A and B are shown apart, each in its own frame.
Chain A
Amino acid sequence: MKENILIIGGGAAGMEAATQLQKLGLNPIIVEKSEALGGHIAQWDRLFPAFHPAKDVVDQMLEQVKDVKTYLNTEVTDIQKDNNGFHAVLSNNETIDAKAVILATGFDIFKAERKQEYGYGIYNNVMTSVELEKFFRTGKDARINNPKKIGFVHCVGARDVKVCNTYCSKVCCTTALKQACEIKEVFPEAEVYTFYMDLRMFGPGYEDLYLKTQKDFDVKCVRGRVCEVSEDMDGRLVIKAEDTLFGKPLKMTLDVLVLMCSMEKNKSIDAIQQKLGVANNSDGFMQNKDMYLGMNDTKQDGVFVAGACTAPKSLPDTVGEARSVAVEVFNYINNK
């Protein structure tokens, strides 16, 4: 009989881990709290750096897990461990016995209201990167009304001690440039600005995207943070920022301001995580055994982690980790 492996979270990490575990002859079971598999990536329109449709990737992943036992709209409410393995109770009152658990619970989007100075939830025309992506997908957003001037603010809720997040959220830099190009595609006449501290173009093709953004799309990248946003009589946004390359403060009126919200640890898993005895790092993300060779292990025997639950990660990072966790779990089961 195939051994059960409980995967909590049906996003990119959970789906990919399930696919690989199935190929390795184990029986993965996915428990997903939302109504569909796919996680955050399913909300995305296109992926950086090559503007590849996210739907393609998600559809391929969904195709591969179609035979995997999946619970939707379901959460793990309790979990115990004994000599026979893990015993999980689900919110639909079913129980699952499994030999190992993979935490693939991913991240939450930083709540932009917490940076009150950027005016999200106060001024109409301030939106988040997630909402802009939805606009690209559906073509609908009341705030986007043939804008003439659009600004992007990087690092909203990241590298910011004032909101207790000192870490870099890794993907927002490249996402901002991708979205800047895309909005320029939709509104070629619009002026587009991005306000950054550093541009961290860490992956293959990312630096090329940065050059393309400036050369082909004429997006203006300003090194400096936006410090405050207000609204003028016509409801347009007045931002104050500093151009640190010129060493000058600047003031600008915009039609839309997009906040590149960071990733934060998904806290809905905290109770189960505590029962499993998996600790958090100082940045709030889950702690793995070590960041080099034990990235999928935790200090608890039989409990594994994959994807953005341990740190902000891009899609390729996450897929890579999901594959490696499958191998780790396979070895763990065979060595028992």
Chain B
Amino acid sequence: MNQYIFHPFVLPFVLGMAFVLTYCVVGLFRVICLLPKDDRKQFWRSLVTPKTAWANIRDLFGDCLFHVKIWKRNPILGYMHSAIAFGWFMIIVIGHVMLFTLKPLEGVEVEGFARTFTNFYYPIFYKHFATETPVFAFLMDFFLLMIISGILIAVVKKIYSKIVGVKRVTKFGFADNMVRFALWTIFPFRLIAEKSNIMAFWWLYSIDLMIFMCLLPFTRYMHIPTEALFILLRHAGLKPREPRKGYALAQIYSCPSCGLCIDACPMSVNDKMSGNTSAYFMKKLRNADDKEAKRIAETCMQCGKCVAVCPLSIESCDIKMTQREATPYIINSDHSYLEDRHFDRPQGAEKSPSVLYFAGCMTQLTPKIMRAMKQIMEAAGENYEFMDKDGGICCGRPMLLSGKTAEAQAMIAKNTEIIKQSRAKKLVLSCPICYKVFKEENHLEGIEIQHHTQYIDELIKNGKLKVNKGEVNYVYHDPCELGRAFGVYDEPREVIENVGNLKKAKSEKELSICCGGSLGSFNLTQQERDEITENSVNDLMFNNPEQIVTACPLCLKTFARKSPVAVKDIAEVVVENI
């Protein structure tokens, strides 16, 4: 006996669901097909590698289901999101479990295709067709009310976001607002329909679901189906290669435009500049607004804070770099001078230096740091040599930031060659910008690469460098390319605690605010940068320190313009206390 459990009000839902499923399946194939061949192989392999498979399972549950990262960042938002997403998930799961336990209406037998088709919508509208056992009734009502509590918080957040600790929220267009409105009303309609069984509310409920699902692919809610794929691709160790293809596409659709990066971004010192944040960048990419996406990619300072706070760890900085690589900027560079460069072994030096010090362009412009490093290495009795005493070769970072990888590689290769010629065991850098390049790009196997904060910390710890503890109150600024990029947070702090008192800044470590001097941005005006610097200085001055200490010559120069107190490099502070 073939018979459907059916009412016409299920049709809008069925239509919407069919559309969104088709869209997602096609999208999934598109993303995977657009991956470069090697990446695709790596992806398949990662799925069966036990280590990545375990990471996948952990994050699929932790991120997609329990939203651990949002809870950590902001518990109110964590509850809001979990209430809606986890509550909805549970309603769907319990609904399907009930399929096996519920008895359909008396005397109706459902079999074959009819059964499959019915199962498609039955758990969504079951209350109209059947009654459940008390346990299920309680669970379903519980999760439904949980969702509604989450929606209430969302409504409050929309009206006054500061109450949940959010200063700036993402501004949305028509489709996003429409879908949000649909989402907010789905569950109250369902509750009323279930409790009253009034036909009009079943219809409204179903139509709301249809609107939500039909518009979903064109809005931020696309993150719901995409996030899982993104997690798998991320764990496969892929890197975005093109701004709107393959892996980057999965990231673009995974961005929920939650806007946590807006408050985090150092550029959000005023409304105009807050439009340069990653949430909007991803939105522009999603909407194929290439002109704006390019502009934001070029404005970004690449400090990485948006990635640090992102509940999905979307690599917006990397995607911006692919956008730059895709732009043919005209830079006339002449690297013919590289040919004659080699390591100058100083006259009379018999042994190879054990430590090779590379100051870099920025440290050459802050000779106090160089002098301090020299004094430290002398005091520690190190066998050292300056690599770029008579002019060095740029580490290549500015070229990399301009998307000119080939040009950068020419300089990187030459620097690698010079370092190897020196036969030093250790390379010490004062500039985190250089540090990043030497760590990531130069192939210096067998040579230890240290930033001078790590090096000084080591010298103090192994007793080579004796320092005195002074009385000065310092605050330490984490340079983006040392802190967020490599997690070097503890060594500088330990060094400072050895020579004085360390005060806390308002935002520290991965939340530290870019100084505003970043090489990353092409088109911030000096005035805009000044505003960023002032905000960052205020944050550092939170506990009234007597001096600001940084570990980056560029931060040093940038802060010195705006700081009410002296700004020093960590090496200078150490030398003052030898």
Q: A residues bordering B, Cβ < 8 Å? A: 114, 116-117, 119, 122-123, 161-164, 227-230, 240, 251
Contact = CB atoms under 8 A, between A and B. Distances in A.
A221 B389 CA distance: 27
Interface stretch (B196-204, B316-324, B365-373, B494-502): B365-373
B369 to A, nearest CB: 9
Interface of B: 364-368, 370-371, 389, 391, 526, 530, 557, 560-561
B364 to A, nearest CB: 5
A116 B368 contact: yes
A116 to B, nearest CB: 5
Contact of B367 (A119, A240, A251): A119
A227 B391 CA distance: 12
B114 to A, nearest CB: 75
B366 A240 contact: no
B473 to A, nearest CB: 22
B526 A161 contact: yes
Contacts of B367: 116-117, 119, 122-123, 229-230
A114 B368 contact: no
Given A116-B557, A230-B389, 10 more contacts: A114-B560, A116-B366, A116-B367, A117-B364, A122-B368, A122-B371, A123-B367, A162-B557, A164-B561, A230-B370
A162 B526 CA distance: 9
B365 A116 contact: yes
A228 B364 CA distance: 7
A163 B558 CA distance: 9
B561 A163 contact: yes
Most chain A C-beta atoms within 10 Å of own C-beta, residue among B364, B367, B561: B367
Contacts of B365: 116-117, 227-228
B528 to A, nearest CB: 12
A114 B567 CA distance: 11
Main SS of chain B's interface residues?
Answer: helix
Contact of B366 (A117, A161, A162): A117
Contacts of A240: 391
A230 B561 CA distance: 22
Contacts of A123: 367
Contacts of A163: 561
A119 to B, nearest CB: 5
Nearest to A123: B367
Contacts of A164: 530, 561
Contacts of B368: 116, 122
The 4 A-B residue pairs with the shortest CB-CB distance, nearest first, are A117-B365, A161-B526, A122-B367, A116-B366
A123 B370 CA distance: 12
A230 B557 contact: no
A159 to B, nearest CB: 13
A163 B561 CA distance: 6
21 contacts: A116-B365, A116-B366, A116-B367, A116-B368, A116-B557, A116-B560, A117-B364, A117-B365, A117-B366, A119-B367, A122-B368, A123-B367, A161-B526, A162-B557, A164-B530, A164-B561, A227-B365, A230-B364, A230-B367, A230-B370, A240-B391
A7 B557 CA distance: 38
Contacts of B391: 240, 251
B204 to A, nearest CB: 59
Nearest to B389: A230
A229 B530 CA distance: 26
Nearest to B390: A238
A246 to B, nearest CB: 15
Contacts of B366: 116-117
B573 to A, nearest CB: 16
Contact of A162 (B364, B371, B389, B561): B561
Contacts of B560: 114, 116
A265 to B, nearest CB: 16
Contacts of A162: 557, 561
A114 B364 CA distance: 15
B257 to A, nearest CB: 36
A41 B265 CA distance: 49
Nearest to A164: B561
Nearest to B553: A116
Contacts of A161: 526
Nearest to A230: B367
